[in-house]
Chains A and B, each alone.
Chain A
């Protein structure tokens, strides 16, 4: 609260936050429906999470503990700059612990640790319209949502199977929310799709596209599929090289120019917590001075 002489709390003015909150309430009332809102210019380029930042700014209170992740990691450029931004304009406490955070802004991942009631997960969304690349006309896609004409979404999955023998869509895998709207879950891996039926509130903000949508707690989120090609989660068939976890989503890291690679948890907090608890993976030996 010390910075309020320079900025309004959380950067946005109160009228803007009010406008965004109204859009958020409508989005929660109609799960999966894309609510238009008057997206503001933010002090960062489009594509860096302007939608998520505006949603976070509208829901943050001075008592919140804020966590930002980018591809699961707390220490990447995007995450660090957004965390610093809110540290400066809202003065909220930052944390890297999923369990401690009350508001989590994320890009491309859902944390491994199950979220609980009272937490809010804010997604940064590049393209909110799941039908965009199948039907370029926005007037038409809006009509298709209104009339629940979602056959086209399956044409995309059909094409996947025809070309690759299985549903090759690996991220931004379309889901049907509360049995009504088909929604783009933002570019999270389809490994995370089943986690979307959770106890926390999920809010999605797309700044450039000026759309907000939401999934309330305990809402059904069904990944689309065919009867004979059911939805399947997908991850690297390895345990984490650092913490040995077998249930987490892994990043592949190239370690030399001779084909060497390692698989590590993409959720850095999850991995670190496990290592603190004494779990060690195949390449997770503690670093000692003088080695290597």
Chain B
């Protein structure tokens, strides 16, 4: 909670902002996941407030993807609870809720952006169909309206309208990733999970994608949890940072605070490992 206090002090004039006083959107308590005797992630707790972007950084194998999958309902955690502020019933534990409910969340209030766009897209379906799928999954049955919002979203992620009937396999890696983002945001989710969204893209495409994501997150007031090993990504996007090592959270704080004044030995190593051009 010290993090929350710190953020309030650092912008006293903006304490009117709704998220500062609101209930948390996502409240995680003691989430653990074990793969046999090995630790996936252990005893992770945090609160995420509406409109807040949290970064999770750490080296490969530190448990950050495991944690993200536990939060998004793709993996069942062995212990702990994940309370999500549902529209109908307020805070509700997504670990113990029924599967239809969880899958419903997965296509309405939640979005999941995979590292590899091939995991998140239907490669045999046109770009418009990919964007429209979530709309049709929640009951949209008007072709003209579906197509219109597909075109609108392609525009927002800077894909030309004449590519709407092309399949994702005809797109470049950066375009595929942007298409995946459009497909996820079309139903107006409140919480976005991103697993290394810029992994595998070259730096100029990365920069464009980051710029786009920052704009969308701010415009739509999205909350997001971004898993990455790229410190530049979290510096740009994240309000808060969680550093993981060997399945444990070793340091949390405001992004600039953690990156500029790392306290834990591992964080210091991580920050000093970044190559300077």
* A residues adjacent to B (C-beta < 8 A): 134, 147, 149, 151-152, 154-155, 158-159, 161-163, 226-229
Contact = CB atoms under 8 A, between A and B. Distances in A.
Interface of B: 99-100, 103, 107, 122, 125-126, 128-129, 132-134, 136-139, 141-144, 146-147, 164-165
Nearest to B147: A162
Contacts of B139: 151
Q: From DSSP, what is the main secondary structure of chain A's interface residues?
A: helix
Contacts of A227: 141-143
A227 B136 CA distance: 12
Nearest to B99: A147
Given A162-B147, A162-B165, A228-B142, A151 B133 contact: yes
Contact of A154 (B103, B107, B128, B141): B141
A155 B138 contact: no
A147 to B, nearest CB: 5
Contacts of B103: 147, 149
Contacts of B142: 226-228
A152 B129 CA distance: 10
B141 A162 contact: no
Contact of A163 (B137, B141, B165): B165
B44 to A, nearest CB: 28
Q: From DSSP, what is the main secondary structure of chain B's interface residues?
A: helix
Contacts of A149: 103, 137
A159 B125 contact: yes
Which residue, of A152, A158, A227, has the highest number of chain B Cβ atoms within 10 A? A158
Given A147-B103, A163-B165, A158 B132 contact: yes
A161 B143 CA distance: 8
29 contacts: A147-B99, A147-B100, A149-B103, A149-B137, A151-B107, A151-B134, A151-B136, A151-B137, A152-B133, A152-B136, A152-B137, A155-B129, A155-B136, A158-B128, A158-B129, A158-B143, A158-B146, A159-B129, A162-B126, A162-B129, A162-B147, A163-B126, A226-B141, A226-B143, A227-B142, A227-B143, A228-B142, A228-B143, A228-B144
Contacts of B138: 151
A200 B144 CA distance: 38
B143 A229 contact: yes
A229 B137 CA distance: 18
Contacts of B99: 147
B170 to A, nearest CB: 14
A159 B141 CA distance: 14
Which residue, of B138, B142, B146, has the highest number of chain A Cβ atoms within 10 A? B146
A155 B122 contact: yes
Nearest to A153: B136
A192 B41 CA distance: 56
A227 B146 CA distance: 11
A147 B107 CA distance: 13
B74 to A, nearest CB: 13
Contacts of A228: 142-144
Contacts of A158: 128-129, 132, 136, 143, 146-147
A151 B107 CA distance: 11
A220 B251 CA distance: 60
